[in-house]
Each structure stands twice: as C-alpha cells, then as structure tokens.
Structure 1
Amino acid sequence: MNIRIAEAKDAKIIHDLMIRAFTEYKNMPASSSALDETEQSVANDLNNGERAMISYMDGVPCGVVRFELKEDALYFFRLSVAPEFQRRGVARALLAEMEDYALMNGLQKIQCKVRMNMEKNMKLYMSAGYAKYNQSILELNGVSLDVAWMEKELTPVKEGTSDLPVLNA
C-alpha cells in the first residue's frame, strides 16, 4: 500500500472515494453530509488549507482521509475506504500515517468525531487507541444523533529515529 499527500488536483479522486464509501449511509434517516459535497467543494477546501491523504493498492486509489492541522491537534474527518477495499487494513494504514504526520509536524494529539450509532467506526477507533473525551448531540434533518469526540495522545518520536519527512504541503 502506498499513501501520499493529496493536492487540489486530486479532488476528483477524493470525491469519488468519499461518495463510494459513504453511499452505504444514503438511506439512513440522517444520511451523511459527505454525500452532499461536490468535486468542486473538495477542491475549494483543499485550496483553503484543508489537507488529505490518498491510499493506493497496486496503483488503484482505495482510501482517503481529509484533515486539518489545528493549534494542538490534527483533526481528521471523512475517512473513506472504497467498499471493495474495506476490511483490508486501508483505514488503519491511513490512521497510522496521519499519526506520523501529526508527530512530524509537532502535534501530539489526533482527534475526530464519530456518530455513536456507527458501531463499526467506534470499534475501529477504539481498537486503534482512541478514547471518547466528549459527547454532543447533532441535529441533522430533524434527527438527533449522539456524536463521540474521539482523541488519541501520540508519543513523540525521538530526534533522529524517523525517516519520515516533515510535510507542510
């Protein structure tokens, strides 16, 4: 698997992967707002400071995650794996790469929000070392959703022990 930092010109790939991954939530009472995004809105976000990573298997885009560097944490969202690549370690590889990216950019926390009724997503993050640090209610299309705010504390890499470059794309 290969993972790289995305650019605005990758908006079509990012949008396609995101839509394919989030389509499974299409018929839920409060479907994800990810399904309302467009290729252009993704490109605009990337041009305005948002970042993304795309994973590839055998040269085929299979997963993506979008994120922002905050003052004290890397905050990620829209972790998306194409259905045919799910349960093959793509999400975990993207999480690990983001952790390395956060550390190499001086951040020691990584955060996300997840709907608590999405049990497989909650289990994924908890098994990767994330813990719920807050909870809120999101009102979406007249439906109240419990949202867990998840966080993982990262252990800083000792000087000279990593070959990863600092990526300030």
Structure 2
Amino acid sequence: MVHTKVSEECNNPHLILDLMIKAFMEYKDETPPSSALDETIGSISKALKEGEQALVCSVGSEPVGMVRFLVRNDDVYFYRLSVIPERRGRGIGKEILKSLEEYASKNNKRTMICKVRMTVPKNIKLYNSIGYSVYDEEVVHKPNGIKIKVVSMIKQL
C-alpha cells in the first residue's frame, strides 16, 4: 500500500491552484461553471494572506488532493475539497477531511461546515457517509441572473 500523508498546512498557491483546477475541470460545462475555475495564483495568495489555510494530501511524494478552509470563532468552514481525477475513489477525500477534523479538534473547534451544490449529489452523499448532515438550503445569486441551489452541511466533532 502506498503511504498517504496529509500535511499540516500548505501556503503554496501554485500547488493549491494546480490541484484545484485538475479536480474542478469536470464542472467546466455546468451552468454556471464552478467559480473555482476562475481562481488565480493572485486570488489564492490574497486569501492565504487574509487567513485562509489549506491542507494538501500526498501519495508518496505526489500531491493528489487538498482542501481550503477558514478557522472561525465557533467552527471550521471548508471549501474546494479537491482530489485529482486519476486518484478518486480511494478514500483520499475522506482522509483529507479526517485530517481537517483532527486539526479542528486540536484548535478547540467542535463544528465543521461546508456548502455543496445541490446539482452534485455525489458530494452530498460523500459528506453524509462520514457524518455530515444538511442543515440549510439556499439559492446563491450569481451575475447575469444565474441562480445556484446549495445546501449547507454540518458535522459536530
């Protein structure tokens, strides 16, 4: 078995962007496409300077996934969970979230929160399978009148 390691933190915007773009390319034809595909080295660098953090998962020495997150007053809010396509279906996303939950616990946070597009039921199913539940639904209004239905999900640690 190949050793999987989730790093404590990553502040390399190039690596974060590369993993995220590879993972989110499957959504390029969605209406609208994921805003992850609009991100740049500059937008990620700015977010990191403003307190965002990231965990990167490697198999051997190859980076294969990551998650971006904010440690807030009462919780950890995560987003852009990314696993490169050729490494999916092997539990890497779950491993990343497990590491993030451990990080949250070490920082005295007892709640994990994320938002998921309702048009991506496989992601909702993934989070449900590891203890997350839907606690809210909303419509996000994008430019040009585009509306995206999302669910907010929560897990108590």
Same fold by TM-score, threshold 0.5 exceeded?
A: yes
Cα distance in 1 between the residues matched to 2:102 and 2:17: 24
Deviation at 1:113, TM superposition (A): 0.4
Are residues 1:23 and 2:25 paired? yes
> Contact 2:75/2:113 (CA < 8 Å) preserved in 1?
yes
Deviation at 1:7, TM superposition (A): 3.6
Cα distance in 1 between the residues matched to 2:109 and 2:52: 16
Instruction: Spell out, residue by residue over 1:102-140, the C-alpha distance to the aligned partner (whole angstroms, 9 max, x if none).
Output: 111001000000011101101000111000111100123
Cα distance in 1 between the residues matched to 2:24 and 2:63: 16
Instruction: Spell out, residue by residue over 1:23-76, the C-alpha distance to the aligned partner (whole angstroms, 9 max, x if none).
Output: 000011111110000012112211221000000001100001000001100000
Q: How does 1:35-74 map to 2 (within 5 A)?
A: 35-74=37-76
Aligned to 2:16: 14
Match of 2:7 among 4, 8, 11: 4
Cα distance in 1 between the residues matched to 2:8 and 2:24: 21
Number of aligned pairs? 153
Aligned to 1:115: 117
Aligned to 1:86: 88
Cα distance in 1 between the residues matched to 2:136 and 2:27: 24
Indicate the SS of the match to 1:5. Answer: coil
Aligned to 2:153: 150
Cα distance in 2 between the residues matched to 1:5 and 1:107: 16
> Contact 2:79/2:114 (CA < 8 Å) preserved in 1?
yes
Identity %: 41
Structure 2 segments unaligned to the other structure (5+ residues): none
Deviation at 1:84, TM superposition (A): 0.7
TM-score (norm 2): 0.94
Instruction: Spell out, residue by residue over 1:66-105, the C-alpha distance to the aligned partner (whole angstroms, 9 max, x if none).
Output: 0000110000000011111111111000110011011110
Aligned to 2:105: 103
Match of 2:34 among 23, 32, 35: 32
> Contact 1:18/1:34 (CA < 8 Å) preserved in 2?
yes
Cα distance in 1 between the residues matched to 2:151 and 2:83: 21
